Structure formats: C-alpha cells, structure tokens
Structure 1
Amino acid sequence: MELSRRGLMGGVVAGAALTALPAGAEAETSGYTTRIDWERFLGEQDLVWQRIPRAWYEGPFLGNGFLATAVYREPGANAVRFTVDHAKVQDHRPRFGNEWGVARLPVGRLLLTPVGRITGVDLRLDLWNAELRGKIVTDRGELAIKLFVHAEKSLLHLEVRPTSGERAVKLEFQALDALSPRTIREPPPATFPLNPKPVSRTVNGLTLVTQEMVAGGQTATAYRTRERHGRTDLLLSVEHSFPDRTAEAAVNTAITTAPAPEVLRQQHQRWWHRFYRKSFVSVPDALMQSFYWIQLYKLASGARREAPIMPTTGPWLEPTPWPSVWFNLNAQLEYWPVLASNHLELDPIPRTISQHQQILVDALRPEFQADSMGLRRSTDPTFQDAGFVGSPLHPSPDPEIGNLPWLLHNAWLHYRHSMDERILRDTVFPVLRRSTNYYLHFLRKGDDGRLHLLPTYSPEYGVAPDCNYDLALLRWSCRTLIESAKILKISDPLATRWQEVLDQLVEYPVDAGGFMIGAGVPFAKSHRHYSHLLAVYPLHEVTWEQPERRELIDRSLKHWLSFEGSLRGFTFTGAASIAAQMTRGDDALRYLREFVARFAQPNTMYFEAGPVIETPLSAAKSLQDMLIQGWGGLIRIFPAVPSVWQDVTIHDTRTEGAFLVSAVRRGGRTRFVRILSEAGQPCRVRTGIDGPLTVRGCSRWSVRDGVVELGLRRGQEALIHAKGERDFTIAPVRITAPGRRWGLPALPPGGSAVPVDISASFDNDGLSNEFTSRDGDFDGMGDTYPAAQLPQTGSVTDDGVLFEFHNGDEASRNNTVANGQTLAVPAGRYVKLHLLAAADTGNVEADGAVVYADGAVPARFRVTAWQQRPQFGESEPVATTLMHTPSGPVTRQVSIFHQSVELDAARELSAVTLPRTSGPRLHVFAITLEKPK
C-alpha cells in the first residue's frame, strides 16, 4: 500500500499579477492523498493463460529493450518454445537494402521438452514484477516455471521445477541462422552472401554460441544450466557487437560475474516498481484499463532511450516481410504513449536523430546534400539503407519525402513534454531546418499566386500534386521553425522564406468526401493509413477548435471509414484519437472497442502480414487522448471521456509545457485538478469543473472563458477544485464494466464446446494480405481469402460454437486439405462434430469416418464451394467482400462455412478421418466437438 501526502507550494510569484482573483475565489495551500496498492492493482491487470498459447501473438512476452523472449508451444511438437531475441542483432550490409542487408536477425530459442504429453498450462504474467510464473501440466506430472528478463542487464533467468514424473525434462538452446526473416515472402538475392553458421562450444559448464558476420562483428550467446534443490536454473545472455568482435567476451563476463538469481530478481523488481509509480491511470472499464497497463509493460519491455528504435516487430523477432524500422507511420506511433505516461526514458528518437545526422544527409541524391536531409521509408535503427529518398524531380514511383519531418514531430513532442532546450537546439531545429529545405526544392508558384508542391507520395495510397500529407508536414515544419528560432533567439536568414510558405502555400485539397489525397486525386478506396488526415491528427494544424473546420473534419473521418476492405487496427486507433479531438468520447470508445474486437490478439499483440507492434501502443495513446490533451498551449482535462465512464483517475500525467497533471472524476464530474510545473512555462488549463473555483498553492491565477491561467514557477504546483470540495484522494476507480483477462482463458467448465487443435495437420495457405496477393493458394489457381477481412483474434464463434482460427504470419499454413488423413481428438463422448470449412473449385460430398474406441463408422461430409452461398444447410460465419487473385483483389464474396456431422454420444470418439478429395477439395480450418448437454 502506498500512502503519501505531498504539501503544495504556495507563495507569490515575482512580477506582475495576472489579474485580480474572480469574485468568490480562494487561494490556499493544501495537499492531496494517493491511495494506490500497486501490487494489488497491477495484479488485476495481469495476463493469464489456462490454455497453451499456440503462437507469439497468444503467449507471454518479456524483455528489457534489448534482450527479449516470447513463450508459446513449439509448432508441431510436444514442447514449449522460449524465443531468444536481441534488439541490436542485425546485418550490416546496407547495399543489399533493409529487407536483407540491414535486417533484424534471429538469435535462437530455448526448447523445454517434457517427458509426458502437454495437457494444459496455468501461467500468469505478473506485471508488477515483470515475471512469468506458473506450471505446464503433462500426463506425467507438472513443470513449475519462473522466468524474467533482467530490467537492466542482458540476462534471462529461467527456473524449471519438475515433479517426479517429469525429472527427465529436457531444456536445450537451439541457435538459428543469421538470415533475415524476410524469407517468409521470398528467398534472399542470389548475390547475397550468407552469414556463416553459428559455432557452439562448452567450457566448464558455460556454453558459448558465436555468430560471426560477413560484414564484421559478431553476435554471441552464453548460457549456464545448474541443477539445485530439485530445480533447474538457466541463465542466458546475448550481445551483439559491430564492427568489433567483443560480443563473446561480453556475454562470458555477464554470466560468470552474475550474482545469485534472487539478487538478480530483487534488482529487476526494484526497477519495475519505480517504473510503474511514475504515472497512474484508472478507468471503470476492466478490459480497456488492463489493455492500457499491458501496453506500458510492453513499452518498457521493448524500449529504452539508449536502445535501438523498435522495428515493426519490437524486440521480439518472428517471421515477417518487414524486418526493419518503418518511418511512414510505425516508428512514430510506437513512442507516442511514452509522453503522457511520463516515461520519456523509453524514447530513443531524439538521441538517434542527433547521433546519425550524416546518414540523413547521405540518404539524399548528391545535388540535395548541401542543404537538406531526408529519411528513407524503412531502414535499420540508425537510418541505414540502400538507395535514395524519393524526389519529385527524378523518376520514382513513390517520392515519399515526409518521413523525416514526421519523425521530427516526435522529437518536437519530446522537447515540448520535457522542455529540455538541448533537444530543440541540437536536434530538432538544425535537422528540421534541413528537412524543410528538401521540401523547398519542390515548391513552385502557380498562376493563382499560391505555392504548390510537385507530386509526392501519400504513404501507401499514391502520388499527387499538393499532397495533403506533405502540405500538412510542410506547414507544421515552417511554423515550428519560426517558433523554435524565437525560443533559441536565433536570427535565421531563412525565416522570411518559412513565413512566405505559411502565407502563400496552397490550401489543402478537399472535395465532397473531405480531405483528398492531393490535387486531382480523391480519397476513393479503402485505405488503412490516415496520411491524408495528418493535418488533423497528430499535427493539429486543422483542429476541432476552429469552428469553420469542424464540418470538414467530421466529413473526412466518416468518408475515410466508409470504405471497408483494407481497414486495419491502426485505422481505428487513429479514428479514436481524431474523435477524442472532436470531444466525442463515446465515438472514441467505440473505435477502440472495434479495434479490440477485430484485431487485438489474446496477449494484446497485433499482426498484419507479420508482427507489427505500433498499433496496440497507439491504442494506448488514443485512450490518453480521451483523458487529457495538451496541444496548442492548452491543457484539456477529460476532453473526451465516454458517458459510461462516470469515474476516472489520472495522476502525474505529463503534458506539453512539462506539466505533471493529476485529476479525478467522480459521478460524472471533475472534482479536482493538480498541476506541477517542471519548467515554469505559461499554464492554461480547461478543467471542466463547474461553479466557483478554489486554487491552492498558486496566488497568480485567473479564469477566462472557462480556462484557468496559472502563474506557476518551476517546481511549483497548484490544486484546482470546486469551492467546497474536500476529498482530494487519488485512487483506482470502481470497475463498472467487467471484462475478461487478457491471455487465454480456460474453456467454460462443463461446457459443450471442445475445440480440437489441428494445427499440426495444416498443409495449405489459403490466405493472403493486401501487400502480396500472390502469397498462398487456396484453390490451386493462386486465389485466396483476404486476410484483412477474416477473423484476426484467434477464434470464431458461430451459433454458440467456438472454433480456433489461424490467421497469422504471412506464408503460414492455416487449413488442412482433406486427403483421407486421420486426426486424433480428445477422447470422449460427443453429439456433434462441427467443421469450419470450405470447398474450393466446387461443392464437396464425400465420405470420411468417425473413429470410436470400438471401431470406425462412415460419415458423410457435405460442404459448399467458397464462392457460393450455402448449399447444404450450413451457416456462413465468415464472408468477405473481396477475393485475392494472383493479379490483385477482385470484388467477390468468398465464405467459410459451419457444417456439422452427427455423432453417437453412447460411444467414445477417438479420431476423425477426413474424406479423400481431389477434384473439388475440402479445406478444413477448424474442428470443434460438442458434448452432450
């Protein structure tokens, strides 16, 4: 239990007073109380697994910004995989591009193989202590496990305590080849020299695995296993060095000098306990509250100021076509939540820009390098890649030039939330000056007297002149440069040019649908990215607080979301943040819930063609936007709280101006707001508190049009509340919308649905994503289901029947083609066999069998072809509006059907034999058995 009382500083600030106090107002000095039982509160947010996770997007994950692990069942084996990854492990041959030459590289995996068959798990990811604990259950006993990745050292500790029947359990490390996971989509280039195989040796109980690199440098893994007191302790370390070959010595030292496991655990827990206490958020929605805290845990597991910028996968590397860092949205969204959550120590973006400016110069063609900088779309964490940033003056299919200014917007926000002028002076201003120069090369004055931008690329949509994405970034850049020069007291010769751009730049192209992609290019197709709306969010160049712009914002948002087909998770997190700016809390919550229902995985991870970490993190930012906003020099308290959230608490939430803000809402009313100024900046706050106000701790204050203006010195804080309010307690709020725990719950006890894990039999990939419709082949002609329109959350429920569903990494297999194979099922008595299935080139009517303990019985399988409507009385739980073909998507409905086969409940079922199909083939996506009622 944490119980503290902090005195608020009073006194009169030197200088002229703001205005006289309003009538009836008071100025006092007092305090507030925090009552947060951190261990109990975070324990309520823990993830729990009572079924074994099948993939990275279902299982526990741990890390420290560098070393990381994810836990799930080894595919096709009776074992549990603990991945071993490290954020610095990459190739260093930029001439081969980001997909191969500077891609993230795998390290290895630990395999825990029990003696008996795995029958279940009971695992808990303890957020407060950042540790995985629990047991793996087999038909021979149990394996109790404890796992943590040290918060500050490159050390992973795994403890396994077997019962007597599992004493012969095996724990082994498997090194993986240092080859880009891009192989999920295509083989490496024929001219690409492969890295040598890793080499392993064991000396005095310490195993060293060394991966030498063609480009120089090395990756090294060291581990030691000890048996003691009936348990096995494994300690493992990974390092990567380039161009030096020092990694092996580093991991050797890390293992041989490590203190005892309990000492490591205590160090680790102290770091995490300090981390969580830096801010607090509580909402009455259990699912969203847990989601938020898991994202903070995820950020601290994957990010550090001194760590590499996270690639698309975060530090957890899985098969992906995108094994590097993407800067046309991904990196920016990843780090937004660190600001309001008061965790600037997790943000590497300002440091990275500062350290690698020459690479940003070299990224441009030589004729631009004298005065400009640019950032390629996808690179390694130091901005290295092959080729040049696109240019409208050179032949290019996608002159995408806005990546650097958008990344600089993140650095600017870091400055605004810290008010650390060094970031502004040494990084933001000089680099933004050069990235803006790059834009200036492509401006032309039109016959209308306005400045127009040559055709540039709106991320993922297409090329257009006067591209709204770039017009927004250019306006923001010029405005920010002028403001920064004033702050830094710089008389810059380009200032008149920046002002000229602001005065003469063409207006944003709009049409009946709202913001267009650019001049002559309407927004006219389903598109996940909000690049054309960047002026609204996150740049706030066009805002809801401009009454003349409201209709345009509203129209643009509705038009964007009206096209289904390619909408993805971050579509809805972006929509939620835009709705929050519009003060529409109910809409914002609806968009967040749609993201959770359609896209969030059991462990809160997210995927498209592979793992992409930014979307759940951006959902945490959307929730922050609903509770507090600080753009435009105004702090807005609870600007978009949903009507069903009557109680909300925020504490030490960081805003622009380097303010730490706490606020409490009870019974649908804001009760008090506390503000601490770290930098002595002007403070304006819209509290939403009704009636006469009392301000304690600050004597210089006034109220104008519902906005409280405070004259706070550096280190001074104020408490604002309605006159007569006496309860200034900061504590968790009562849950009024209960929700399931994240993780994998057990099937309902005594429930009738028993999903059967048939993933080991999958032999067909019938899905493809919008990026490569040639991935997969459902019907033998290269046609596939569009993955974006299929269930993303690992399950499908139809008519009360739960099916497990696989819609994972690109190129992964997700269904079984019926060819007479026999599939084992959990032995038992059942009344029905439920299939999630579809036929390909025609309907299927064929005989298979159900296998009972006393013999097999023929069974008729009747399933409709995927392009038809149900022919055999099936239901249609999955239907799409598109079909992917080798030449691209076409508008056509394709379906997956729910069919059932009657069983004899008086006999014990042990297996199912699928029919042998060849002409039209039967594809089985899932099987669930139904128990008698």
Structure 2
Amino acid sequence: MTPSMEDPSRRAVIGGLGLAPLIPAHIRSAPGWRLRDNVSRPEFLKGQDLIWGRMPRSWYEGPFLGDGLLGSMIYQEPGQNKVRFTVQHGRVQDHRPEFGSGWGTCRLPVGHVTLDPVGTITAVDWRLNLWDAEVTGTITTDRGKLSFTAFIHDECLVARAEAGGDERVRWTFHPEEAVSPRSASEAPPSGYTPNPAWTTATAGDVQQVLQPLAGGGQTATAYRVKDGLLLVAVAHSFPSATQAQQSALGTIRNAPSYGVLRKRHQDWWHDFYGKSFVSLPDQRLQSFYWIQLYKVASAGRAGGPVMATTGPWLESTPWPAVWWNLNVQLEYWLIHGSNHLELDSLTSTLDRNRDQLVANVPAAYRADSAGVGRSSDMFCTRSVGTPGSGAEVGDLTWALHNVWLTYRHSMDDKLLRDTIFPLLRRAINYYLHFLAKGQDGRLHLPSTLSPEYPVTPPQDTNYDLALIRWGCQTLIESSDLLKIDDPLKPKWKEVLATLVDYPADADGYMIGAGTPYAQSHRHYSHLLMIYPLYLVNWDQPEHRELIERSVAHWQSLTSAHRGYSFTGAASLYAMMGRGDTALSYLERFFDPASRYPCQANTHYAEAGPVIETPLSGAQSIHDLLCQSWGGVVRVFPAVPAAWQDVTLHDFRTQGAFLVSAVRKGGRTSFIRIRSLAGAPLRLKHGLAGSVRAELSDGRSAPVKDLGNGVVEITLGKGNEVLVYTGTRPDPVIAAVPVSKPGQPWGLPAIPPPGPTTPVDLSAHFDNDGVSTHETMTDGDFDGSGYTYPAEELPAAGPFVHEGLNFVFPAYGDGAANNVTAQGQTITVPSGAYAKVRLLGAANSGAVTATLTATYTDGSTAQVPLAVPDWGGQAGAGVTEVVRCTHRHGRAGAHSLRVGLFEVQAPLDPAKRLRSLTLPTLTRPQVHLFALSLEAIKG
C-alpha cells in the first residue's frame, strides 16, 4: 500500500500500540500543511459592536434589526418619553402601477411599537451585539430601570423586557397609515385615492391590525404581549385579501418558546459569520466593514424581495422603491467577496419576474426583448422607454452584471444557462433593435439618458455603449461555455467589431457624443467601462492615461457629489493599485464635514433614508484587499501603506476560489487558495522572490510564470494550495493588531463638557424662523415661507443640552430669533476656549464652511464648520437637539420633520479668543439660534 492510500484507521491503531517508530519517516513526518483559524469570533465581533450611551433620536442614529424581510429601527419616539421599535416589512407594498413606483407600487408603512416607561428617561446603555444579532440594554428613568433584549427571526420581532424599581413594562403597538413615504415631501398624483383605513381584530391573546389595499391585497400585523415578552409578525398577500391575516396569526401562534427562538436565531448568525473573515488595523473601518455584513444579511436573503433603497427599514423618504440605475447594484456587490451568495435576492428577483421584465418593454419588442425602468417595486414593475426618445434603457443589463458576478463567484452553470443567458440575450436584443450604421460605417445608438445627468440625452451615451459591449462579450463567452449555437452570435460579434468608440475629449470620457462631462455628477455612469465592468482597465497600458484623466475630471467637479461618489472613486483608484489615494477618498465618506457623510449607526441620508452607499463602502474595502477581474485573482492589490498588517480569510473570488492571505509588516506572508470549481487559476500574488506553491499534502503544484507578477497554478476542484516565498510559513488566520484606534459606532456616552459660556446673539438676529400653531404664516426660515413650530422648540431662556449651557432666543410674532451667516463679526467674552458650540441648522442643503476665529494676540484661524440641513440628519460630531414632528408653512402644517442641531468646532485653547466671524453665505444658508464657548475642564 502506498503512503497516500494507507488506511487511516489502521494508522491510528498502530500509533495507539506505541509502534510509531516502526512507521517510515516519510509517513510519520506529515509533510503537508494545514491552515489554522485562530479567531475567536465572539470575542472579535464584540470589539466591532455598536454602542449607545445616549438616546438615539432617528433612523440615522438607532440600532437596527432584520432578517431579510422584517426590519426594525430603535430610537426615541419623536417628542415623547418613549422608545420606538419600528415594524416594517420588505414585501409590504401598494399595487397600483398606474401611479408609478413612487406612489402606486411603493413600499408601504406598517407601524411601530413603543416601550412606554412610567418615569422620565434619564439615561440609556445599549449594545447592538453583532455576533448574536440582537440589541440589549437598559433604559434608566427617575422611577427605576427597564432592561430589554430584541431580535428578529423568521419574520417575527421578539422583544423581552424586565422592570426594576417602580418601573413597569408596557408595550404598545401603533399602526401607521398605508400611504407612500413620499407623502412627507410631495402631494399625491392626480386621481390617487387613499388606501382604506385599517381595522383591528382579536384572536384569543393575539391582537391583529388588518390593512386592506385599494389596489388589492392585504397587510396583516399580529402581536402578543405576555409577561414582558412581545412578539410581532407581519404578512402581506396579493391578490388575496385574507391570506396575510392567517399567515401573521399563524406565525405568532406557532412560535416556539423564547429560548428556542433565540437559539435558532443565534445559530443562523453564528454560521453566517463563520463563512469569511477580514481584519484591518484601522478600528473604525474594521467595525464599519463588519456592520455592513450584518446590515446586508439583515436586509436581504435569496428568495426574498430585492432590497429597496431603505432596505426593510422604511421611513419617510423620497426613495420608497427599488432603483435600478445604481442603488441596487451597490447594495449587493459585497456579498460576493464576503462569501455570502445566500443573500442574493437580486438574482432570485430577476429570475422569478421574467414575464414582467418582458412586459416592461413596448409591445412591439416583447417577442425577444426585456427591460426595467429606473425604479420599480419588488416585482420589477416599471416600463422602459425606447432609444431615440432619450429614455434610460440600460438598467436591466447593469443589474444582470450583478447576476453574472454571482455566477463568476460560484461557477454555477445552471445559473448561467437558465437565468443569465436568456435574460441578458433579451436585454441586449432590445438595444439591437435600435443600433444603426452611420456614414462612418460604425454602429451608433440613438439618444438615451446617462442616468441622472441633467442635460438633453445624447446619442452614443457611454453608459449604454459600455453595457452593450459587456453584454455582447458575455453572451459570446457564455454560448461557447454552454455549447449553445445561437443564431445571434454573428450579430454580437458584429456589434463588438463595429460599435462606435466611447466618446472622449481632452478631459476624458464624455457623457455621450457631443456631450462632455461639464457639470458635477454624483453617478459614475459614464465610467462604467472602467468600473465595475473593467472593459477598459489598468492592465491595458495604452488606456492608463485616459483612465486617470477621466477619473480626475469626474472628481474635480464636486458640487453634486454624494457618498457613493467617494466610494466609487476609492474603487477606481484601487483598480489602479493606488491604495493610499483610494483610502483618502473612502475616508471622505466618513468625514463629518462631508456634505453627505456616513451616519452614527452607519446608515446614510440623501434627501431621505437610503442604505446603498455604506454597503458600497464595504465593497471599496474589498477592492483594496482582493480583486479578481479579467481572469486574474489579485491579492492585496491596493493596500494602503498605513495598513501594515491585514488578514483575509475565505474571501470568494471570480472562478469560485476561496482566498486566505496574511500581510505582516507590510509584506505578504502567505496566500492560501482553495478551488471550489476547478477553474483555471491565474494569481497576481505580490510576493517578492521565487514563488512556491504547495498542495495541502506537501506536494508541489505546477506553477507557470506569466510575467508581470502573475502565475498560473494548476489546481483541481476541491484542492487548495499554499503560495509563499522562502521558508514555508505557518499558515494561521488571526485578527491583526489595531494601529489606528477609533471609538465604536453608535452614540457612545459623551464625557461631561468643560465650563460653557453662552454668547448673546440678540444684536445680530435678522431672521424669524419660528411660528406658532395659531399664526403659521409668521416668519420665513428658508425663503419659502416655512418655519419651526414654536410648540416643539425649547423654551426661551437658559437651555441645557448634554451638559452645555445655552440661552435659547425668545420667539413671537414678527420677532427675529436667529442669525443668518452674512459675514458678521460676533464679539465674545475674552477667554481661553477649546470649542465653539452652535445651535442651529441650514436651509436648502447642508453647509460646509469656516468660521474665522480672532484671538487677542491679533492672530486668526479658520475653523471648519459643518451644519446639517434642517430636514437632514446629524453626521458624526453633530448631535440632534430637537426633531419636530412637522414644520409650519403658508398653507398650514407640513409633514417634513425638521431638526435643530448642536454643532461643535475646535478652537486654540492656548490663546484668548476675541471674536468669531461668520462665513458669508447666500443659499444654502446657516441659521444660528444660540452660541456658547466651552473651556477646558478643570
């Protein structure tokens, strides 16, 4: 018997008899290697948890729970001494497509639960435990303490609370009107009628709220409260008007015990976290990354509805649907590298809604085409216009690129044959109906819209040309792989050979023919050929200068940029191998001075709640650590210089490889690759010196040097190889030391501030931004006649916010009560101060500007100032003081919930401050209601 065939049971017996010296040395010494995972995930993830030492007040600050369908946010009930647990569900939507996706097929609100203490809340101490995917904590009141645990499992919100002292556990469910979340900011379309009112029912100890819908179907909520334990279930049915009631009721009645539910829930999440591992030396970014994995698993599961832009955490927002021209793609990219294909509800959504995708194109093209409009419901219900009409037509093709990525990361031929090939064939066919040869002999595309670029749609938009090229190339490769003799293959080849070149000018890639990139644009739709399609890439030296020029020009015009403009730039520079530049762009997304920063709980705001950009930030981290485009696996291709140590484990790449790699002291120690499909492996390893590749049994794997740092390694399905230089290292996976500490995400407790000195602003008041309920037309905060409701603002006079002393202005009819920034110089009591603290807000958008601090020694300093829009949210370093339930306007109360914020900016405590000069602004504008100066403690 050869050593490789020796019976392991016999080997164990011999060893047990003490006969090991009789075994040949080549058998005893075990020449192979074994990758060891030394990470204690419970302990590691505890270090990534979100912490709340003060009460969150909004969607952008609170803990969040979800199971891919049901979702809940936890924060203070606006204006009340209660804690809100929102209850929303990804399948709950309206069914009236005649009113569009914003109103007719939008996601609909369900309701929320409040935990109602007896006493006044004085403190909170909460933790979002990532490992167990639950929120735990205490609520301290002047009457005692409430302790609670909450999680969501199998479409059931489970919350258990206990009371101490004179407190009591009181849970209350509040149904919400089934109306579009857009109602907070716009009137309904003509002809729209409200959905019927909800009704209630009781079935034993289970309470129900039943919501019929005007377009058919039903939403049902069932809940039970017993001994402090709350169970809430939501179901939605369509077209059935009764099925949801029975489904929700059954969920509650059939729920197992609390202990069983919790164990099942925790088992799912513990298995989830074991599928991959990433460790970074930057604590804040490391935690952010793991929170995004928790978030995407809370928001989507294969077989469930495709994620809306708010995920399952619906709130008042302009985005209560699915957006197909950027948002949905960004939401799902990180599931591939993180080895979580089980979360791909985008692929399952497109697969089961093929008939609707066909119905979305004009009738004349349905025999062979398919498409989807810019936004839709979970059934892909949205018609698409035709090229030549200026319509946006490429969104299905781009969404199918995500599905193709799932194929490439799984190498599942069934997915390629049954879903990607037939749908992509139809998506590209739609383009083929409109491509026409010009006088130059090249194929041209009539006018189409480059997503959201605000000009007359040009011909030959780069957005569509890139998608056409990618689609035809992918169809040819797929038909070859699947051995399909498709009659359209000659046409696809003709398109690739004769399609017009991408329009470009001296600044790089244009929007389209005759339309330069001439104004700021948040999307990078005109750069898709570079990222994420990689049709034009850094491995093509002839294109490098054009790539650099195009990306630099896109980033040079910044006024319209949003958070994903930064994450997109990070990924583009990572493709170039420029890790430091990529990291600098990614960090802008976390800069509180940014116009659209990441929020305290890692959620994001852009005119309302959206979740795609933080998820794309996790993909930007992936792009720094491992890339696999163009048939090459690239390990540590763009690691920033500051990240001397990095660990990557079971990172899934194209070709269905699992990559584990460790970087120590700025050098790659080893790379372990396991093949799940037996695909060809080409590896850009980044190792210095002669590369060695060993199979797990110690045998050498065949290695072919392809040049430029790329090797080809023969690796069969199910096999794994260790790649290194020099002496074989001990392959161990472990968390890396943190070299850049950072505070936890959430709202950690704020240390008591130093002594504060209020500054009298009354001499500078020039705006009336407050009105009473009786005289809503008094005042004009924003230039459009809107004002804060006086009834919900602090009383005039001394006001304390988180230990800071302010003087809030008096307000009354016609009384000026705030300062608009017009370059005024405000004299302050002379003294040494560490910070300036402002109470105020901006209108017409957030403001990033500077104050000028003048010191008694004659020196000046520019002090950065970032003030949120009054309808926006507080970013890092900003706290929300008040969130009103509405605002006043010329036509009465308006549903936009406006806020007032406390903003801090640093001063030089070694000098004595004389005055502060406000910036000179027009629109957007900053309004200051109060100002205080904080000295150093003690």
Q: Calculate the TM-score normalised by the size of structure 2.
A: 0.81
Which whole-Å CA distance do the structure 1 matches of 2:429 and 2:840 have between them?
A: 66
Whether 2:421 is the aligned partner of 1:429: answer yes
* Residue-pair matches, total: 812
Which whole-Å CA distance do the structure 2 matches of 1:559 and 1:82 have between them?
A: 45
Which whole-Å CA distance do the structure 2 matches of 1:819 and 1:70 have between them?
A: 25
What pairs up with 1:271-670 in 2 under 5 angstroms? 271-385=268-382, 388-394=383-389, 398-461=390-453, 462=455, 463-597=457-591, 598=594, 599-670=597-668
What pairs up with 1:195-274 in 2 under 5 angstroms? 195-227=195-227, 232-244=228-240, 245-274=242-271
CA contact under 8 A between 2:372 and 2:384: conserved in structure 1?
Answer: yes
The one-letter amino acid of 2:799's match is V
Which whole-Å CA distance do the structure 1 matches of 2:793 and 2:158 have between them?
A: 45
Secondary structure of residue in 1 paired with 2:529: coil
Q: Which moved more, 1:294-303 or 1:723-732?
A: 723-732
- Residues 837 and 105 (structure 1 numbering): CA distance in 2 closer, same or farther, change over 3 Å? same
- Residues 763 and 50 (structure 1 numbering): CA distance in 2 closer, same or farther, change over 3 Å? farther
- Residues 329 and 662 (structure 1 numbering): CA distance in 2 closer, same or farther, change over 3 Å? same
C-alpha displacement of 1:252: 1.4
CA contact under 8 A between 2:57 and 2:76: conserved in structure 1?
Answer: yes
Which whole-Å CA distance do the structure 2 matches of 1:87 and 1:294 have between them?
A: 20
C-alpha displacement of 1:204: 2.6
1:742 equivalent in structure 2:
745
Whether 2:45 is the aligned partner of 1:65: answer no
Which whole-Å CA distance do the structure 2 matches of 1:491 and 1:443 have between them?
A: 23
Which whole-Å CA distance do the structure 2 matches of 1:865 and 1:34 have between them?
A: 52
Which whole-Å CA distance do the structure 2 matches of 1:512 and 1:500 have between them?
A: 29
The one-letter amino acid of 2:663's match is R
C-alpha displacement of 1:819: 10
Secondary structure of residue in 1 paired with 2:104: coil
Whether 2:141 is the aligned partner of 1:147: answer no
C-alpha displacement of 1:191: 1.5
Deviations 1:310-348 (A, max 9, x none): 011001000011110000000011000000000000001
Deviations 1:221-272 (A, max 9, x none): 1111112xxxx11111111111122111112111112111111111100000
1:15 equivalent in structure 2:
none
C-alpha displacement of 1:751: 4.0
Which whole-Å CA distance do the structure 1 matches of 2:338 and 2:615 have between them?
A: 12
C-alpha displacement of 1:823: 6.0
1:710 equivalent in structure 2:
713
CA contact under 8 A between 1:337 and 1:621: conserved in structure 2?
Answer: yes
The one-letter amino acid of 1:390's match is G
C-alpha displacement of 1:460: 0.8
The one-letter amino acid of 1:315's match is P
Q: Calculate the TM-score normalised by the size of structure 1.
A: 0.82
* Correspondence for 1:97 among 85, 100, 107: 100
Secondary structure of residue in 1 paired with 2:161: strand
Which whole-Å CA distance do the structure 1 matches of 2:902 and 2:670 have between them?
A: 54
C-alpha displacement of 1:374: 1.1
Which whole-Å CA distance do the structure 2 matches of 1:676 and 1:525 have between them?
A: 46
Deviations 1:98-138 (A, max 9, x none): 01111100110001121222122110000000010111122
C-alpha displacement of 1:824: 6.5
CA contact under 8 A between 2:800 and 2:806: conserved in structure 1?
Answer: no
Using CA pairs below 8 Å that are at least 6 residues apart, which structure has the higher relative contact order? 1
Which whole-Å CA distance do the structure 2 matches of 1:214 and 1:713 have between them?
A: 57
Which whole-Å CA distance do the structure 1 matches of 2:758 and 2:130 have between them?
A: 29
Which consecutive unaligned segments of at least 5 residues does structure 1 have? 1-7, 11-26, 757-761, 767-775, 784-810, 847-860, 887-895, 901-920
C-alpha displacement of 1:619: 0.4
Which whole-Å CA distance do the structure 2 matches of 1:362 and 1:347 have between them?
A: 24
CA contact under 8 A between 2:507 and 2:550: conserved in structure 1?
Answer: yes
CA contact under 8 A between 1:843 and 1:864: conserved in structure 2?
Answer: no
C-alpha displacement of 1:185: 1.8
C-alpha displacement of 1:72: 0.6
CA contact under 8 A between 1:837 and 1:923: conserved in structure 2?
Answer: no
The one-letter amino acid of 1:242's match is F
CA contact under 8 A between 1:837 and 1:899: conserved in structure 2?
Answer: no
Which whole-Å CA distance do the structure 1 matches of 2:373 and 2:694 have between them?
A: 50
The one-letter amino acid of 1:101's match is G
1:3 equivalent in structure 2:
none
Which whole-Å CA distance do the structure 2 matches of 1:539 and 1:863 have between them?
A: 41
The one-letter amino acid of 1:364's match is V
C-alpha displacement of 1:79: 1.1
CA contact under 8 A between 1:645 and 1:668: conserved in structure 2?
Answer: yes
Whether 2:159 is the aligned partner of 1:158: answer yes
Which whole-Å CA distance do the structure 1 matches of 2:315 and 2:931 have between them?
A: 27
2:113 equivalent in structure 1:
110
Secondary structure of residue in 1 paired with 2:35: strand
Which whole-Å CA distance do the structure 1 matches of 2:462 and 2:543 have between them?
A: 15
C-alpha displacement of 1:563: 1.1
Secondary structure of residue in 2 paired with 1:671: strand
Which whole-Å CA distance do the structure 2 matches of 1:831 and 1:487 have between them?
A: 71
- Residues 93 and 927 (structure 1 numbering): CA distance in 2 closer, same or farther, change over 3 Å? farther
- Residues 879 and 75 (structure 1 numbering): CA distance in 2 closer, same or farther, change over 3 Å? closer
Identity of aligned residues (%): 49
- Residues 366 and 827 (structure 1 numbering): CA distance in 2 closer, same or farther, change over 3 Å? closer
Which consecutive unaligned segments of at least 5 residues does structure 2 have? 7-29, 760-766, 772-777, 810-815, 827-838, 856-861, 872-888, 890-900, 906-924
Which whole-Å CA distance do the structure 1 matches of 2:51 and 2:904 have between them?
A: 32
C-alpha displacement of 1:34: 0.9
- Residues 682 and 523 (structure 1 numbering): CA distance in 2 closer, same or farther, change over 3 Å? same
- Residues 755 and 624 (structure 1 numbering): CA distance in 2 closer, same or farther, change over 3 Å? farther
Whether 2:178 is the aligned partner of 1:178: answer yes
Which whole-Å CA distance do the structure 1 matches of 2:211 and 2:803 have between them?
A: 52
2:783 equivalent in structure 1:
781
Whether 2:10 is the aligned partner of 1:30: answer no
Which whole-Å CA distance do the structure 2 matches of 1:837 and 1:629 have between them?
A: 55
CA contact under 8 A between 1:844 and 1:865: conserved in structure 2?
Answer: no
C-alpha displacement of 1:870: 8.2
1:79 equivalent in structure 2:
82
2:830 equivalent in structure 1:
none
The one-letter amino acid of 1:683's match is L
